[in-house]
Structure 1
Amino acid sequence: MMVTRHAASRRRRRRRRTSRRGLWTAAAAALVATGVLLGLVTALRPDGGGDPDRTVVAPVADAPSGTVQAPSRSPSPSSSTSSAPPTATFGASPSKPAATPGAGASASKPTRAITAQAPSAGRIRPGVTYRGLATHYDAADGDGACLFGPSDGLMIAAMNHTDYETAKACGAYIRVRAASGASVTVKVTNECPLPCAPGQLDLSKQAFAKLGALSAGELPITWSLLSPSTADTLAVRYKTGSTRYWCGIQVVGHRNPVARLEVMAGGGGWRPLPRAEFNYFLSEQGAGCGGALRVTDIYGEQLRLDGIPVRADVLQPTGAQFRRH
């Protein structure tokens, strides 16, 4: 009977030891599993486990699929902007022009520009002061590369080839100032070919004489674009040889530089015409010749012109004019 009780006691002690070993084994297995799980979570973290040299890039909510937003960076000390008025330097390229506002609006009446930042301007922009040299030439009757014809008063200028920009400068009014403080307002009617440098104006002798003695030959100047008061209104001229099957169209007498000319093409849509160096917009296949025209200035204002037939080399008045800025 005593033997039986001792045997039972030994069996109970063995079961307790076996139970403890099972508990320790289960605890160890749980710890190992936890360590493996933590390692997997760390490895799969978006920042790659806390690599200090890696940058996390977040998708842009409003961007097209596949695009991401670059991480923000602190501005460089050298990138501070000046509060001084913008000034163009030799060889500087102005910003790419933005799209013309109001392109989808009704063409039955002029569409006024919403902004004064000249969305359709080229190299010559309002509110910018340009620097260069003034030289002079014998302007004769004032006709030039813009093919406007003879000029009254001869307060005119030939724009350097770069800023002439395929005739975009034609008809622009420019205020020119010399270092002495003398100034003159001129109209761009001609092109000054290379080696005329960016910023350079070749003035008629009459205009140059307002700034200094002709014997000086050249003067350092600053100049800027104007939107002057004028009694003139726009006129349209078809180039010599124009017909309903091919035509060149020119706008004359505009207060602000012309940025675009469009014709009403088949289907009722507007089609822009390319501009030639000699300041005519060309319709090589005859599209829109003799039909409705839409003219846009550098500020984005649009004027629709109707009822202008194809009459070669005849200046046809319209009674319309761009708004002053």
Structure 2
Amino acid sequence: MRRAAPHALAVVALLVAVLGVVVSRDRPGIAGTAVAGTSAPTVTTATAPATTTGSATTTPPATTPPTTTKASPVGAPLAGRIQPGVVRTGVATFYDSDGGGACSYDPGPDPLTVAMNAADYGNAAACGAYVQVNAAGKSITVKVTNLCPAPCKPGQLDLGAEAFAQLAPPVQGEIPVTWTLVSPPTRKSIAIRYKTGSSQWWCGIQVLDHRNPVARLEVQVNGQWRQLPRAEYNYFLAENGAGCGGSIAVTDIYGERLVVPALPVRADIVQSTTLQFSAH
């Protein structure tokens, strides 16, 4: 079993980073120049989204159905280190996971989660990705929710304890595995959340419940699309307030681009949409 200490250090570092953003201080390595977005093979425009506060959901009246232009993307041109269809080898360890961690997701009941090694985490590019893990004839699919810092090696997965137990007895501590990116079935639609402290002057935008890894997020500013930089804690930042509260375009690694109509800037509120990326 891996010691919890490295994760504790990672969480402390994460809290320091988040606090720094909340008070609107510049953070090295995150600020960047926004660039104009480009077109993608698939564009879907959502109807007006529902808003979720706790367990209550309010769905607005139906509007014009979404318009979708479909094309078959070739490969995954926007993928980072984790390429679909590429089988990776490594080892799996485990830790006590509650589904929270460096990706800034809320703790949840799903025990099938994994912390990704730093090399493959890719500045949060792996957050929300699903990977199929195989070991000794057994297989599970887990969601990336956290970062596994050194001494985790490239290719290593630090599984939630319950996920590890489905592959091998926990007494083994570490097992050889192969793993690959997958695009699983889901009944969920993507959701958007503005970060604590967000306003018209500064905002952080997070995408939730996406089937495929998110490669890019753009906001509409004066009729133009501008790409936002991604923080290592999995929020896309508009540090000068540009686009906060406007339309949002989310693109996955396959180039499918979903356009979400303007949402109110409501910090820490999960706002549902009617959209989801295609399965691959």
Alignment TM-score, normalising by the size of structure 2: 0.76
5+ long unaligned stretches in structure 1: 1-99
1:257 equivalent in alignment to 2:213: yes
Matched length = 223
Greater C-alpha radius of gyration:
1
Q: Which has the higher helix share?
A: 1
Picking from 28, 39, 58, the partner of 1:102 is 39
1:286 equivalent in alignment to 2:244: no
**Aligned to 1:135, what secondary structure does the other structure show?**
strand
Aligned pair in 2 of structure 1 residues 187, 277: CA closer, same or farther (>3 Å)?
Answer: same
Aligned pair in 2 of structure 1 residues 101, 238: CA closer, same or farther (>3 Å)?
Answer: closer
Matches of 1:285 and 1:224, distance apart in 2: 38
Q: Could you give the per-residue CA deviations for residues 109-148 of structure 1, whole angstroms, max 9, x where no partner exists?
A: 4554532310111110111000000000011x22111011
Aligned pair in 2 of structure 1 residues 258, 241: CA closer, same or farther (>3 Å)?
Answer: same
Per the TM alignment, residue 269 of structure 1 is displaced from its structure 2 partner at its CA by 1.1
State the partner residue of 1:155.
112
The one-letter code of the counterpart of 1:228 is: P
Could you list the runs of 4 or more consecutive aligned residues of structure 1 that deviate by over 3 angstroms after TM superposition? 100-114
Alignment check: 8 A CA contact 1:177 1:223 kept: yes
The one-letter code of the counterpart of 1:120 is: L
Alignment check: 8 A CA contact 1:237 1:250 kept: yes
**Greater RCO between the two (CA within 8 Å, min separation 6)?**
2
Q: Which has the higher strand share?
A: 2
- Paired residues for 1:49-64 under 5 Å: none
Matches of 1:323 and 1:236, distance apart in 2: 18
- Paired residues for 1:26-65 under 5 Å: none
Q: Could you give the per-residue CA deviations for residues 12-59 of structure 1, whole angstroms, max 9, x where no partner exists?
A: xxxxxxxxxxxxxxxxxxxxxxxxxxxxxxxxxxxxxxxxxxxxxxxx
State the partner residue of 1:307.
262
1:298 equivalent in alignment to 2:253: yes
Picking from 188, 205, 208, the partner of 1:232 is 188
The one-letter code of the counterpart of 1:102 is: S
Per the TM alignment, residue 319 of structure 1 is displaced from its structure 2 partner at its CA by 1.4
The one-letter code of the counterpart of 2:226 is: R
The one-letter code of the counterpart of 2:205 is: I
Alignment check: 8 A CA contact 2:190 2:273 kept: yes
Identical pairs, percent:
57
Per the TM alignment, residue 106 of structure 1 is displaced from its structure 2 partner at its CA by 7.2
The one-letter code of the counterpart of 2:79 is: A
